[in-house]
A and B are shown apart, each in its own frame.
Chain A
């Protein structure tokens, strides 16, 4: 074998080997670092290009994708490293399947004068024939000497307004009265008027939802013997269309006066949201037991209006030690005036003191079981009811109304009373009775605008009489939920729906901060993007991907294959072989 022959054979074998390898098409697996992919979510109404550029600089080589929120949801898939850039003006829902850390970059408001509506509080339900109140907390910066006008609007209609003259920077709380234009769920917008040169107008408005209804709060007034205290409270309530008052006064051993539904029995207490008892020291032991069950099991509100220090079986309804004090002249007892007062020695941490006299609690709300007991120690406040421009009537109406909201036998409460189209509204149905039952049939139907009604599945929550559910929100019309229990008592609730729902900047920021912290991400201000990169680095370096490689599929193999065969052919031709 000559050297040339050997060379030709080698060339030919090599070419054959290439062909065989190509036919086999072997697979080789290689491990390599995963590409650095970061999703930047724009949650701002201003330009965030500078933040994106800064992230690109601190995350060299990272694949940065910019997304905007769709359908009010944070566009962040499971496993994705997301960085939300927020100025608080865009509210989104946080997905439950967020597994990777979410980082948050705050865009701060430019310096200069600014007014911001920090929070808006309103009762979730409002009677159609009465005025409501929204409590607005507003923060001003560089506002001294300026005037801010606040408007409460329902659609385009201005249903309330107030002005505030700033004397110094800081936060102020304003109560703005408003009146409902129609029944059902209403979306109210509270907006502070912007002014020339304001640093940011994004934080000037907040939306809030209110359920307007004509339901009257059921109140039972029971006097074991005639009592001026309860009589004048009852009169204050009877004059108001928001209350349905039943009453009964014991006039003698077998003599009573009042309305047909004014009996102190389980049936009447089942229907009543609030029970007012005058001269409680005259209650019998059985009546006291009934009232205890009304509070602790039924979840009602019991309002005690004593004429003297607690005595008799009713003494156990009074939490704590109450002592009687007499004075020659009337003095303030909370917002009321009284000269004869019962004062509580010491309030417990659970008690809510509604009024004090001489530094001691005289009006105390004490939670008990499912309900609560309110004791008014301003015993002769009724004598001074004509002073202070009707404060007496207004106080008792407000107290009873707000107590009734929490004590109505059948209530529907939504997690949020205002939402966006396409979302789901979670709700709780609470039906408490004097005698709890083990089996209950709950029928819930939801209607959104003109859409057809749909049955909603509700689930027992674990507590007797309490059920939870979720109502899908379709369209941009208000959604109403109607619930009936065992074909008997029914209630209606709802959520206001608005596409451009505006929440408080502070609330939005707090929500995003909580989500970021919960997911293990960091919260920084714009300009501190390096911290975000540092937080993301371990996750990026740890990530590696297995990469399958098929080397014989490369077309470049044709070049050596042809070259080998060509040289071998040339050598053969030079040797004059075929």
Chain B
């Protein structure tokens, strides 16, 4: 009686085990599907690789675990039901298992008979047929393999935005399968190299090396770079490669050799040049005058750069003596450096003047000089500040003068004004003048001499000689436009001009008129001093005389001076813009010809102009007809704006052209009725 029971249990247990195994396999397969789905979504949205893979696996495991918990439902009764569903056993197996599982009021004979018949029937049942596992196992393995493949093979693939954008341009992707752009910034920038796949626009540090890697079945690939000769990419194992140095912004059309514009891909390269450092002296930040030759001055220096600073220093020049015996000594002030970070430095100095052997009347000029890490960059200096030494230093006003030769006495423009006012007041009030013995004209002429002295000193401080003040004043706009580099010099020249006028008026005894000119001169001096310190320039590279060129010129080349004319858009540039506009108009009409080549031509008009670059990128990225139409219109607007910038314009001035008006006016004038 006891023998059959183990056989029944064993058979049911085998089926239960297989049921559980099938549940687990299905859970694993579902987990794999979930992993793949999350991974693909991550690729579409360009999620970072670690995040994408980690999240995919986590979701897959969660899904598998959630489904695997149903394995516990594979009970003996469920197994019996599975056996019954597979073979028609008249419900004997289920009945036998339920009788074993729980006590029922059934006679032993009936119970034994049920068990006997169940075991007899079970001999015909095959557990592998009741719960087949091979197909489930194969499916699960296939899913797992696929999931693993997508996780590994697609690890560096980003479906958006680059690929999707370019796939949306069906005409432009033909012939070029994959473009990889590697950007190697200049070493001094300290930035790492980076690789971008199928970009439309990249922003790089000026001087970066750009390496193109193009996968294509074409025989050759050419990169047409605006403003440069075409770059022919060389074939290698991994495709076609080529590189160039991006010194300035440009537009590139990459096309298979011999391919049409529709086969090309567009790349806009925005090169951001290295900006020079910005350096200033916040403390003391003004000119100083000290009465003694000893003391200590606190100096704070602040310098910043976009990529990184290399050096920061404070240099000074000591001017001793006067007139022909003026001597200059240069030196450096030690700084205590506080590097906030690589791009922002602060320095502080406690400048002890004791060891400089200063004497009354000496002048110290100091400035901060910073240099960035760009080896081709130039040092940048701050505004220069002045320290005057001596008992009379406080007399120096906004107008500036060096001591005269015979006595160290500062005569400023303010002082000339003051003396002129005094002279006028004395004449007005009948008070005694400073020079009682002199007449009115003579007193004016004495003031004119002082005005001339101040003027001479200002000319000297300007670093040069003014031969013709009127001519210099007439060219002051050229100074302001930057041709002489110093915008303060224009004001300086105006001041000199006013001083000359004041001197002439004083010599004629026209004191009130002279006072007006003196004040104008002072205002010009104030403006000049506010804008930039220009005297005692220590980096006068442009004005340095190259003695090696002496006697090397050709006399035949000597000719009269001709004025350099300001340029407007030359015919080639204008024709280029017109041709591009005509093509854009044709594209707007027919919708044809909107491709990377057209975008590259737009960008190439002026690679440094943001609106053109934006229009080119929009044109290259447009994916629908409406987007293409909008992009073409914006491109036309950008080209128009660009063209208008370079063309001479006209203001509308309505002029009458009716000849009858002239004749009538003449006749009225002849009769004396023309003007009432």
Q: Which residues of A contact B (CB under 8 A)?
A: 121, 123, 129-133, 135, 155-161, 175, 177-179, 181-182, 228, 231, 235, 238-242, 296, 299, 319-321, 328, 335, 345-348, 350, 352, 354, 365-372, 383, 385-386, 394-395, 397-399, 401-403, 406
Contacts and interface: CB of A to CB of B under 8 A. Distances in A.
Contact of A242 (B473, B636, B648): B648
A45 B633 CA distance: 28
B675 A129 contact: no
A270 to B, nearest CB: 17
Interface in B552-571: 563, 565-566, 568-569, 571
B582 interface: yes
A367 B656 contact: yes
Interface string B580-591: 011011101100
A318 B355 CA distance: 72
Given A365-B655, A401-B650, A402-B655, A158 B661 contact: no
B462 to A, nearest CB: 19
Contacts of A156: 585-586, 588-589
Nearest to B566: A239
Given A181-B578, A296-B662, A350-B664, A240 B656 contact: no
22 contacts: A129-B647, A129-B648, A130-B650, A133-B651, A156-B589, A181-B578, A231-B474, A242-B648, A328-B516, A348-B665, A348-B676, A354-B653, A366-B665, A369-B662, A370-B663, A371-B662, A372-B656, A372-B662, A394-B651, A395-B651, A399-B653, A402-B653
B661 A350 contact: yes
A350 B643 contact: no
Given A177-B644, A240-B568, A131 B666 contact: no
A281 to B, nearest CB: 19
Given A155-B585, A161-B640, A398 B675 contact: no
Contacts of A352: 654-656
Nearest to B655: A402
A368 B581 CA distance: 44
Contact of A319 (B578, B586, B647, B669): B669
B441 interface: no
What DSSP secondary structure best describes chain A's contact surface?
Answer: mixed
A436 to B, nearest CB: 14
B567 to A, nearest CB: 8
B293 interface: no
Interface in B357-378: none
B640 A129 contact: no
A369 B666 contact: yes
A371 B676 CA distance: 22
A365 B566 CA distance: 29
The 5 closest A-B pairs by CB, nearest first: A367-B662, A157-B585, A350-B665, A156-B585, A406-B657
A212 to B, nearest CB: 11
B155 interface: no
B488 to A, nearest CB: 15
A570 to B, nearest CB: 90
B569 A129 contact: yes
A177 B665 contact: no
Interface in B17-68: none
Contacts of B643: 131, 179
B6 interface: no
B194 interface: no
Nearest to B673: A348
Interface in B470-485: 473-474, 476-477, 480-481
B652 interface: yes
B658 interface: yes
A135 B654 CA distance: 11
Contact of A158 (B637, B651, B654): B637
A208 B675 CA distance: 38
Contacts of A231: 474
Contacts of A181: 578, 581-582
B563 to A, nearest CB: 7
B563 A368 contact: no
Interface centre among B658, B665, B674, B676 (most CB of A within 10 A): B665
A296 B584 CA distance: 49
Contacts of B653: 354, 395, 398-399, 402
A365 B637 contact: no
Given A158-B637, A366-B665, A240 B648 contact: yes
A386 B491 CA distance: 13
Contacts of B481: 386
B649 interface: yes
Nearest to A374: B655
B651 A130 contact: no
A394 B653 CA distance: 11
Interface centre among B473, B658, B661, B668 (most CB of A within 10 A): B661
B574 interface: yes
A161 B634 CA distance: 11
Given A370-B659, A372-B662, A385-B477, A157 B648 contact: no
A129 B640 CA distance: 14
Contact of B656 (A158, A299, A365): A365
Given A131-B648, A131-B649, A386 B477 contact: yes
A251 to B, nearest CB: 14
Interface in B526-570: 563, 565-566, 568-569
Interface in B112-148: none
A319 B656 contact: no
A443 to B, nearest CB: 24
Contact of A296 (B566, B657, B666): B666
A398 B676 contact: no
Nearest to B633: A158
Contacts of B586: 156
B569 to A, nearest CB: 7
Contacts of B568: 129, 239-241
A397 B652 CA distance: 11
B649 A133 contact: yes
A338 to B, nearest CB: 16
A345 B566 CA distance: 38
